[in-house]
Amino acid sequence: MLSLARASAATVDDAPVEPRMRLTDLPADRLTVALTLDACPGGFDERIATALVESRIPATIFATGIWLRGNPVGLAFLLAHHDLFAIENHGEWHIPPVLGHRRIYGIPVAGDLATVRSEVTEGAASITAATETPPRWYRAATGRYSPAAMAEIRQLGFGIAGYSLNADAGASLPARAVAGRIAAATNGEVILAHVNQPYRQSGLGVIAGIRELQRRGAGFFRFDQLAAADLADA
Ligand SMILES: [Zn+2]
């Protein structure tokens, strides 16, 4: 009876969740992490992308449709280095897949499942058009989901891309703090930072942090190399 009551409430205005996720079944002898960079609306942080190419560090870019259309130079850079960068789905318009009436970090949420569906499927179509590779993973704008929306997104065939280490708090943290958080990553960490804020200090911290991980011998996995079974709730 309790679960029925919760399922019923979930279709109206359930509390958003922030799914945590880590890599699993990893080699015991090597620090292994996944670096994920969100391209919300905004610009292209060429500092990070160039550093990743110089250091040969793979990353998964979660891009919105509006970012792809607004950053043709950035997109061309990512595609020119497709051996390093996978592009996955961050939604078409950066609308949080959350039901009901609320804002998260000031962003109005989808409100209903039909809007969630179009946000996810149109975002996937934009990526397929831009890259010729259909995305398999979706990460919510703001990282928050209504549980009913998560079920709907999985039904559409996408894995839910959570994370375990929020490295830059929406590119709002100073470089030193971001570097410290990333450098402290433990085995299996799914690291979240941002690649859409080229004028903030956070990006310099991303570069310093990942270079420290690399110095420690870390291996970097991309989401397109993972099966859903390789991820576990943290
Ligand atoms: Zn975002």
For the chain, what is the domain count? 1
C-alpha to C-alpha distances, 151 to 37, 46, 126, 161, nearest whole angstrom? 24, 35, 22, 13
Cα 194 to Cα 48: distance, rounded to the nearest angstrom = 9
Q: Give the domain extent around 196.
A: 2-233
pLDDT at 229 over 80: no
Is 17 in a helix, a strand, or coil?
strand
d(CA 44, CA 142): 18
Per the listing, tokens 């996978």 go with 86
CA of 73 to the centre of ligand 1 (A): 19
Output the domain CATH number for residue 40: 3.20.20.370
| Ligand 1 ion: nearby residues, β-carbon < 5 Å | 38, 40, 141
Of 151, 89, 146, 84, which is closest to residue 120 (Cα–Cα)?
A: 89
For position 8, what pLDDT does the model report?
43
Instruction: Give the chain's largest Cα–Cα span.
Output: 57
Distance 40 CA to ligand 1 centre (A): 4
* Higher-pLDDT residue of 188, 10: 188
The pLDDT tens digits for 179-225 are 999 999 999 999 999 999 999 999 999 999 999 999 999 999 999 98
